[in-house]
Structure 1
Amino acid sequence: MSEYDWLSEVRALVGREYGRVYAWDEVNPMMVRQWCEVMGIENPLYTDPEYAKQSEFGELVAPPAMLQPWCLEGLHMNNYPPGSTDENPYEVLGLLEQQGYPSVVAVNSELNFERYLRMGEKLYYTTIIKEVSEEKTTALGTGFFVTQIMPFYSVKEAGDEKVGELLFRVFKFRPAHSKASFENKSAAEKPDATKTDAIPRPYPGISDDTRFFWDGCAKHELRIQHCKSCDALQHPPAPVCSHCQSFDLDYKVSAGTGEIYSFVVMHYPEVPPFDYPNPIGLIELDDGVRMIAGLVGVNISELEIGQRVEVEFTSFDDDLVLPLFRSKSG
């Protein structure tokens, strides 16, 4: 596709390296222990000093997969420690949003490790805009792949040492279900990225395996995949039964009642057309399966694990029906 004039501002950011984001704490055994407990990691190399003393390292080391968590801001958004940059490494995504590419999906994330981290090390990372692709058309829509690299360093008196790297790629796109192409619309018809009501909800990816579920939503039925061989239910839908590997599948209609097994409240990034804060729940249905869905009509400050909820089918943009969940009365 031909280049747009406004893309020159976007491409000018490629190769730019944004300033340091420091870790709040040094690598320490308390946080390693807690992380291992949460993740179910039982390797004594990370938590047993006596065992680690006999290893090739001679002391405790941190799990490599903890590389990124050391430099997270914590509970409050953009709450980075003193000395961290105040630059916005995601400004390239904002520029694309301004041009009518509001939706985002993470395509891939890759962590590479140079070595194990030892207790007492202080880390930071920088952000480099590695690439902005040509305009691409996918099943989701038309947009641009943006690739960022975050190299992580350990602070050293003799010179900071690179200890790992995170590659993060996202797809910023205009949803494919638009009734007319962006280019064919008049200026008055083009969506204003600053107005959430002008941007439609992105459509789910629908395949032969999941079509029955979305057809059910259109009829206000919560359909759960059912194995006719072993009588098990499963969600999300799959081409084969995860219990007995049978291909003989149909569905059963759920009553749509259950409880919140877990939840998050999304604050950032704010992606149109969603409202923020945006509560999302992992719902354990009374049928015995779990599904992720938006929560509506709930008091965010009163959300809790085990809270009873029931499905509510909500229509968006006339022809998209999604199963959301609200607190169950009574």
Structure 2
Amino acid sequence: MPVRPPSDVHHLLKAFEGRPAAVSASARDPVNLPMIRHWCEAMGDTHPAYTGEDAIAPPTMLQAWTMPGLSGGPGARTPAYEELFALLDGAGYTGVVATDCEQEYVRPLRPGDRPTFDTVIEAVSPRKTTRLGTGYFITTMMRVRVAGELVGTHRFRILKYAPATVPAPEPPREEPRPARPRPVINRDNAPFWAGVAEHKLLIQRCTACGTLRFPWLPGCGRCGSPEWGTVEACGSGTVHSYVVVHHPPFPAFDPPYAVVLVELAEGVRMISNITGVPHDAVRIGMSVELEFIRLDGGGELPVFRARADRPDGAES
């Protein structure tokens, strides 16, 4: 059902211009050093004029001395001011936001001063449309005195508005699960991935000294020979070490999950995933066996499944 826009009540609001919003109201507390100290600490203002026996109040505290507090105070608002707000609320302009203020300082306030103030409804704007909604700017002018002497003025402007209609958010779309990252294949490891495609786990073997190596490298780490052949792993191994990944999350992976360092029966070690067992049940020394998983969109990866006869005796 469409929301009916609030009516234009500017002709009624104009009658409030010039009427009092506060008359001979008194500050709830005299100007005092504790409030000055709290204000300066909150603002980070370390000016020496605001401390000591001859301290003055920061000029920008002018409005603070006139605030009625959460519980209100005598003379805080006149019936005219309350009527103005009731009219706006009843017409649908229920939102309120402060927009700006202008202050003039005639003389500084000092501890012991007891401010009094009078406030007038100075102006009501025609109806305006803002990003918050449609409404009226209400400007009040306050004159602050001490013992009848003018010490400062405070012009304050608010917007009373009818909150703009916010369209209902669209239901979240279910995003497709990101694809698992594909291995980087280059001239040094291409034969390894060719073996994986045939469900073979190939280990490099130096033809000069016979040393097995994994991961694949262009030369032997023991004798430096660039010549090599391959040995097909039997697929058996044990968990030499492991980590459980909780953070940060990576696309296509659901933490927590275990990443294992498997020592193959041939004596080399390989980092991989482990399947067939919860992440919190992986143990060092656990017996594993090779298997291959197919990736979405093609390709395969070698991983390791916990064996049913692993040392902890649990079933996979």
TM-score computed with the length of structure 1 as normaliser: 0.45
Pick the structure with greater CA Rg.
Answer: 2
TM-score computed with the length of structure 2 as normaliser: 0.46
